[in-house]
Chain A
Amino acid sequence: MRYASANTNEQATNMSNRISVSDFHAYPDAHGRFADYGGIFMPETLMPPLEELTAAYLAMREDPAFIAEFERDLKHYVGRPSPIYHAERLSRRIGGAQILLKREDLNHTGAHKINNTIGQALVARRMGKRRIIAETGAGQHGVATATVCARFGLDCIVYMGAVDIERQKINVYRMKLLGAKVVPVVSGSKTLKDALNEAMRDWVTNVADTFYIIGTVAGPHPYPMMVRDFNAVVGREARAQMLEEYGRLPDVLTACVGGGSNAIGLFHAFLNDREVAMVGAEAAGEGIASGRHAASLSAGRRGVLHGNRTYVICDDNGQITETHSISAGLDYPGVGPEHALLKDSGRARYVGITDDEALAAFHELARTEGILAALESSHAVAQAMKLARELPKDQLILCNLSGRGDKDVHTIAAREGIEL
């Protein structure tokens, strides 16, 4: 592995709970576990529907007709494959390794989220469930869910924290235009985790006819597996594109990590390519030391949240604490259990990117390449820029540009004191 020097410190601190893995594609096991992580920590009422979903999905993922239906929609509705774009001006300006962008921002609805919502809507339809619920933070998953519900003629209810509704007004209106009902959540911190709680409460109440489309690789089994499978198209596609266009695999992958769906989507196909390094960029908010961040893997501890064992941000009494990030989509106090495994095994490392670093990367990419990245994805761009500075010019960094930034222009303007 050529890329090895920069992560010695993190690896040393992880040695205590180091897990040795021979085949990363063997997870999860039949109980939904990624080694020590994952599982099904849910109230009894929801266990039978989760069993039903697991059985149905395991059959569908082997069913050629289902796979063909999914791939047809990815091609003709989402617009896949998304290109890999060599950010030459940005790379030249930094003067180090080459930054390549996997353009998930070019998908229909403007983010990777649609890969998963198409997949889950197809599962819901095949299971005969016509009422769809979802939670959303930045609104990207809500928009992607509202979109596929319109496309498949399903009822759509989206739970969204009142704080997030305020900072993502455009996406709220987009959901309404698509025929979804957006329900403000005013409990707890009024952000993504509370939207998830409220969606679970809806599900437990309407379990007979309702399908819950979870937007990230968290939640109880089978969601971390199912959401990963649907987003893994990103990495499969990227791996083939790299071999075809560059004649080799990239040296490093980087992606932002909130719940972690776009990151696992990019990483998964490369997990057994041990020569490819992986770095997840978590939201360090105002800095890890400030306590105002959402970096579960970098600064959290082992716990259980929303149905799975993973790294969580909580206090000494086990109460989940409020997180902070300029990007609503990363503002989550847990993280998908597969990332917890990747961290503990040393296969991937996770670092914090502050609000300021993400904003700087947003502007840099806009000015040098003419691309407005989502604030979430700007964390990955910031990390790619850091890596590029450290690595030689012949190395290739593949960065997942998971979403476009149109939804964030108001947030950015407000931050810079500009009234639109």
Chain B
Amino acid sequence: MSQRIEQRFADLAQAGRKGLIPFISAGDPLPEATVAIMHALVAAGADLIELGVPYSDPVADGPTIQHSSERAIARGVGIAQILAWVSEFRLTDSTTPVVLMGYLNPIEIYGHARFADDASAAGVDGVLIVDVPVEEAETVTLLREKGVREIFLVAPTTTDRRLAAIRARAEGFIYYVSFAGITGASQLDPVAVRARVEHIKQGGSIPVAVGFGVRDAASAVQVAESADAVVIGSALVAKLAEANDRGAALAAAHAFLAPIRAALDQAVRR
């Protein structure tokens, strides 16, 4: 059973560093470049990779990730293909945690038991299913049994009663949604985020990653003041979408992430 997520957050804490979690849509911009992009992101300083499983009706996503998903779907990208990419990634990277992020229906159709078996075998460390709140977590309980971590969202609207239920169930880390809205919107309020993250951390030791609205080095540094890790999705996906070929995509991934890594590390040293 993999401990990659726990190990990674423990290492970060010991080194006094903040985690950097890029999100990419699996299969976009070029299906054949997905594994190489994952490696490029690790080389540029990613601590954990969130791999988006494209879905036709992503109600929590803004236009950038919607369009990215549509492009991947048009190329026939599905769970079987994505798990094959994770296996390929694992051939040369056995330490960087990979979390799949998506919606329930593709898993429902793939089959819960089959998905738990195959995701675990491929080297997936965690799964964050946007439309599975803690009330419905029993539906994916087979994942937990196979050692794949259930990552849950906490939102600005989450009540303390719900937060307690989520904490009791959450594994790996908690993903705090920085504002009530869709991915890629620019509503980040660092002061409010800080207050909420500190509140979430009061109740336990599970690390807190913050996503939605983090788009560059400056916003990453602001969020990392309180969070254990920052998630960057839409801004990276938009950069990758501009790439016409594999080389350009790898260069874009590195060029986007490396300065954010540097800024995060510099801010911690200050």
Contact = CB atoms under 8 A, between A and B. Distances in A.
Interface stretch (B12-20, B51-59, B233-241, B247-255): B51-59
Given A204-B180, A205-B181, A301-B109, A319 B73 contact: yes
B244 interface: no
Contacts of B95: none
A44 B108 contact: no
Given A44-B153, A44-B154, A45-B180, A318 B60 contact: no
Contacts of B182: 201, 204-205
A317 B133 contact: no
A303 B131 contact: no
Nearest to B67: A187
Contacts of B162: 44, 47-48, 51
A247 interface: no
Contacts of B78: 316-319
Interface stretch (B30-38, B41-49, B99-107, B203-211): B99-107
Interface in B126-179: 130-133, 135-136, 152-159, 162, 166, 177
B181 A303 contact: no
A271 B83 CA distance: 45
Interface string B76-91: 1111000000000000
Contacts of A42: 131, 133
Contacts of A43: 59-60, 130-131, 133, 153, 155, 177
Contact of A312 (B59, B105, B132, B154): B105
A303 B236 CA distance: 31
B157 A319 contact: no
Chain A contact residues (Cβ within 8 angstroms of B): what range?
A: 35 or more
A41 B59 contact: no
Contacts of A319: 54-56, 73, 78, 105-106
B221 to A, nearest CB: 25
Contacts of B55: 318-319
Interface in A191-216: 193-194, 197, 200-201, 204-205, 207-208
A48 B154 CA distance: 11
A304 interface: yes
B67 to A, nearest CB: 8
A299 to B, nearest CB: 15
A317 B109 contact: yes
Contacts of A208: 180
A306 interface: yes
B106 A318 contact: yes
Contact of A204 (B60, B66, B158): B60
Contacts of A320: 56-57, 105
B136 A318 contact: no
Contacts of B106: 317-319
B180 A205 contact: yes
Interface string A23-50: 0000000010000000111111111110
B263 interface: no
A41 B60 CA distance: 12
B235 to A, nearest CB: 18
A318 B55 CA distance: 8
Contacts of B180: 45, 204-205, 207-208
Contact of A201 (B59, B73, B103, B153): B59
A47 B177 CA distance: 13
A200 B59 contact: yes
A305 interface: yes
B188 interface: no
B158 A44 contact: yes
Nearest to B60: A43
B139 to A, nearest CB: 8
B121 interface: no
A233 to B, nearest CB: 30
Given A188-B57, A317-B78, A318-B110, A41 B131 contact: yes
Contact of B133 (A44, A316, A318): A44
B113 interface: no
A314 interface: yes
B217 interface: no
A42 B155 CA distance: 12
A287 interface: no
A181 interface: no
Nearest to A194: B57
B59 A48 contact: no
A11 B108 CA distance: 24
A307 interface: yes
A318 B155 CA distance: 26
Nearest to A322: B56
Nearest to B70: A188
B185 interface: yes
Contacts of A318: 55, 78-79, 105-110
A393 interface: no
Contacts of B153: 43-45
- The 10 tightest CB contacts between A and B, nearest first, are A318-B106, A317-B78, A318-B109, A45-B155, A44-B153, A200-B59, A319-B56, A205-B181, A318-B105, A48-B157
Interface of B: 54-60, 62-63, 66, 70, 73, 76-79, 103-110, 130-133, 135-136, 152-159, 162, 166, 177, 180-182, 185
6 contacts: A40-B136, A45-B153, A187-B66, A205-B181, A319-B55, A319-B106
